[in-house]
Amino acid sequence: MSMAAHMVTSSDFYMGDPYSQANFPNTGFLYVRSSRRAVGAMAAWRAARSSYPGKHEQQVMNEIRRGELVARRGVRIQFLDTAHVAGFCSNTRDFATLYTMHANCCVGLGAKLHDLRNLLEEWRVYRRMPDEERRRRGPVRWKVPGICIH
């Protein structure tokens, strides 16, 4: 996390700049640094839910982040690179750069668990490979299709 960020969130889609509002946030992984701006942003986010009936918290964040949070409150949001904090929205990530996985872009706990279990097994196979074989094979990506991964 950058010292300049008030909030850090994972991304469904990452556009290359950690501070660009063109990134698509996924609030399933969210870090908020304690500060007046961040506390105000969290209160505004919560209050905004009543203005967007039927939308869940991530959809509300998408509605208010550019205006209410960034422009009006001066909150600096940092988006995590999907090369390291990946998800099911994008299935082209290399296991060598992956730190954690998020079961985003997937509906239902059963579907998420199914694909995460498959991914974990692939990760175990990858980790058992000798380093020389990993280098020789190049990027190792998870298999497609799954229930969520498509």
3 state SS of 43: helix
Q: For 47-83, how does the pLDDT look when each residue is reduced to its tens digit (9 = 90+)? A: 999 999 999 888 998 888 888 888 888 889 999 998 8
Q: Which of 79, 74, 76, 47 is nearest to 63 (CA)?
A: 47
Query: Is it the case that residue 105 has pLDDT exceeding 90?
Result: no
Structure tokens at 104: 């985003």
Name which of 57-61, 94-98, 144-148 the model is least confident about.
144-148
| Residue 91 phi, psi (nearest 5) | -105, 25
Roughly what angle, to the nearest 10 degrees, separates helices 36-48 and 57-64?
110
Q: For 3-49, how does the pLDDT look when each residue is reduced to its tens digit (9 = 90+)? A: 789 999 999 889 999 999 899 888 888 999 998 989 999 999 999 99
